[in-house]
Structure 1
Amino acid sequence: MIPLSILDLSMVTTGTPPAAALRNSIDLARHADALGYVRYWLAEHHNLSSVASPAPDIMIGQIAAVTKHIRVGSGGVMLPNHAPLMVAERFKMLEALFPGRIDLGIGRAPGTDQATAHALRRRLEVREGDDFLERLQELTLWETRGFPPGHPYNNVIAMPNDVPLPPIWLLGSSDYSSELSAQVGMGFAFAHHFASFDAADALVHYRAHFRPSRWRSTPHGILAVAAVVAETDDEAERLASSMDLNRLRRDRGQYSPLPSVEEALAYPYTDSERASIARNRDKLFVGSPATVLQMLQPMIAASQADELMVITAVYDHEARKRSYSMLADAFQLQRAAA
């Protein structure tokens, strides 16, 4: 069956402070490594009380150091926040330390609000408009050494220079990212869990228009989804109630820690709020292993995805680990040898 991977936000809950959330991420990565998951990606978000990790490169190093088989990467580095040379240097260092196990996933959004984005960039050169393509080109030029003759950067080397950049993946939730990934010949990961664009259209378009490049010879599309798996449909619904309330609050601009199941079940929902939660369930797959597998299979087939990446943001850490265990069994992952 299709390979499985994990996207982790290092979720903060009302009972799990940020430092503990980071340690939970390391624990979950060890668990995923043993279960046979292919990748473990960390997101970059800033000024969100619900997300503990603003620096995926630091977490990648910590997780790669305590795992053996799983690839570890960024899902992603928000390139507008960083000098391309800095990204190249940090990920070449990670590749040198953990050869063949690092992924460089790149996003074009800031991953935060406007004020925080300004604070992140105020000491950097400020350019008008969307300069993502320019930054992406510069990042690749540090690897290819393709700066024009006489360019001042010809005398600058991204160290360590005896290792390549890890594989580059472009992340997105629209047709723009799909088209760009195909044109430049890179891997593509589609964020179904918050996209308004159709996942199947994006991934099929990417595959159909992919151009081989020095970065990839063949297309590879990752479908990222949100899912909650438990022993029964009812138990999965109970666990997912935290995500339902959290999503409702996020839609109102309230990025608070993930609430407990008890708080979510006790919340006095209005009819309009329940309708909003029902609509949001289009982005969340909930149920027993058999139920979730049955729900996911049509989308996997329609999108022609090469890989399924799952985010499970439930309140209880052990319940989250069990969810990934049951999903691994449902997809018949090959567990790593003890």
Structure 2
Amino acid sequence: MSSPTPLSALDLSFVTTQTPPSKALAQTIELAKHLDGLGYKRLWLAEHHSLASIASSAPEIMIGQVAAVTQNIRVGSGGVMLTNHAPLMVAERFKLLEALFPGRIDLGLGRAPGTDQVTAFALRRKMEERQGDDFLERLQELMLWETGEFPEGHPFNKVFAMPTDAPLPPIWLLGSSDYSAQLAAQIGVGYSFASHFSDFDAVAPMRAYRELFRPSEGLEKPYSIIALAAVVAETDEEADHLAKTYDLNWIRRARGEMKPLASPEEADAHPWTEAERAYVARKRVRLFAGSPRTVVTRLRRFVEETEADEVMVTSSVFDHGKRMRSYELLMREWVASVGAPATLEA
């Protein structure tokens, strides 16, 4: 019997109408311990700013907290929004984490600021002004802090990132279209596609990454992760009920309302219009909701289509206990299904 494709998780420290931000952060720590015990391969923490439903604004701090209370699970950023940070600071923080937790840290990088334009300006107002999309410039500088190969005469030539005896953790590029897939392939790093919020079809960029990949010193073969949203419960009906939190959140975000996550009961009480129901139906196509067998059967087909090496799941279930149960049910069925043909009708 073959080994299952590894399962990992992405957590945003979800704020709900009953869970304030500080408690959401504590729940992330609890979830991390749970995932470590279940055998999840890695847990990534996100960077978002000024969003009422997400408490995760400083992933490098949470990474240290999570790594300190877990044993085996890899912990990383999903991701650090490089446009918000000086590359030297990113290099030092993640080399420090790697020194403290050797072999367990990942450095996932994103291009977007993780917030609105005004907040992005506030995040960068003390930084040197750069013109246009400077992600490539920042990425190159970050990698140079690791190699120390700044040209002779460069002002950074004699500056070094501490701790010098700890390597930069593995770099991953995160994306929701084909741009990051092609860039990750060209520089020979891992790639993760954000299917949980992207309307872009995942198959093309995931396969393009594999086809265009160039081996590097850090990675000999392509390695891709498909990130997706899932809600798993004992029955399809219960999962559909829990997923109503997603439904109302999608409608609110479409209106520009960034509120804490609502309960399924609050979503039921919402005065739904036909247009809203149609919008939610389109969004539900990207959500893996159902019983363990329903979700795993669909998920295994998705892995085959995208040729993903790993699956990363995020679950914004309103109730924290049921969120942890969702991850447990998924892992149990995922492992049990190895070797079984994926023939169930969608």
TM-score with structure 1 setting the length: 0.97
What letter matches 2:224 in structure 1? G
Aligned partner of 1:100 among 91, 100, 103: 103
Matches within 5 A, 1:23-172: 23-172=26-175
Higher RCO, Cα 8 Å, sep 6+: 1
For residue 319 of structure 1, report the CA deviation from its aligned partner: 0.1
For residue 152 of structure 1, report the CA deviation from its aligned partner: 1.5
Matches within 5 A, 1:162-311: 162-311=165-314
How many Å separate the matches in 2 of 1:58 and 1:17? 19
How many Å separate the matches in 1 of 2:254 and 2:31? 28
Q: Hey, what does 1:336 align to over in structure 2?
A: none
Instruction: Give unpaired runs (5+ residues) of structure 2.
Output: 337-346
How many Å separate the matches in 2 of 1:140 and 1:221? 20
Any idea what SS the aligned residue of 1:154 has?
Answer: coil
Q: How many equivalent pairs are there? A: 333
What letter matches 2:88 in structure 1? L
Any idea what SS the aligned residue of 1:149 has?
Answer: coil
What letter matches 1:201 in structure 2? A
For residue 215 of structure 1, report the CA deviation from its aligned partner: 2.3
How many Å separate the matches in 2 of 1:297 and 1:158? 42
How many Å separate the matches in 1 of 2:73 and 2:240? 30
Any idea what SS the aligned residue of 1:332 has?
Answer: helix
- 1:100-153 alpha-carbon deviations (Å, 9 max, x no partner): 000000000000111111111111001110000000000000001111111121
What letter matches 1:61 in structure 2? G
Instruction: Output the aligned Cα RMSD.
Output: 0.8
Instruction: Give unpaired runs (5+ residues) of structure 1.
Output: 334-338
- 1:179-220 alpha-carbon deviations (Å, 9 max, x no partner): 000001000000001112211111111011100112211111
Identity of aligned residues (%): 63
Any idea what SS the aligned residue of 1:72 has?
Answer: strand
Of 83-92 and 243-252, more deviation after overlay is shown by 243-252
What letter matches 2:26 in structure 1? R
TM-score with structure 2 setting the length: 0.95
List 4+ stretches of structure 1 deviating above 4 A: none
Of 188-197 and 75-84, more deviation after overlay is shown by 188-197
